[in-house]
Amino acid sequence: MEMYEIRALTDDQILDELEKSRKELMNLRFRDATNQLTDTNQPRKTRKDIARMLTCLRERELE
């Protein structure tokens, strides 16, 4: 998810997406531990998406 897409969402939508991404990251970690993960770059992408969402929420908090 790109930053412009995140900025277009409301705070509640961002929090929902954040929760989904955290669950997805947990699932990816389990799949990686059991060698079922085919795209090994996916956990990194998900972590970066989470960071982008948190950054956007913090920007709004400071405004």
> What does the pLDDT read at residue 25?
98
Determine the 3-state secondary structure of 18 from DSSP. helix
Q: Of all residues in the chain, what percent carry a pLDDT higher than 90? A: 97
> Long-range contacts of range 49-52, CB-CB < 8 Å, 24 or more positions apart?
49/1, 49/21, 50/18, 50/21, 50/22, 50/25, 52/1, 52/3, 52/6
pLDDT at 6: 96
Neighbours of 17 (CB within 10 A): 17
Domains and CATH numbers, the chain: 3-62 (1.10.287.310)
Neighbour count for residue 28 (Cβ, 10 Å): 20
Per-residue pLDDT reduced to its tens digit, 18-48: 999 999 999 999 999 999 999 999 999 999 9
Instruction: With cut-offs at 50, 70 and 90, classify the pLDDT of residue 58.
Output: very high
User: Average of pLDDT values for 39-61?
Assistant: 97
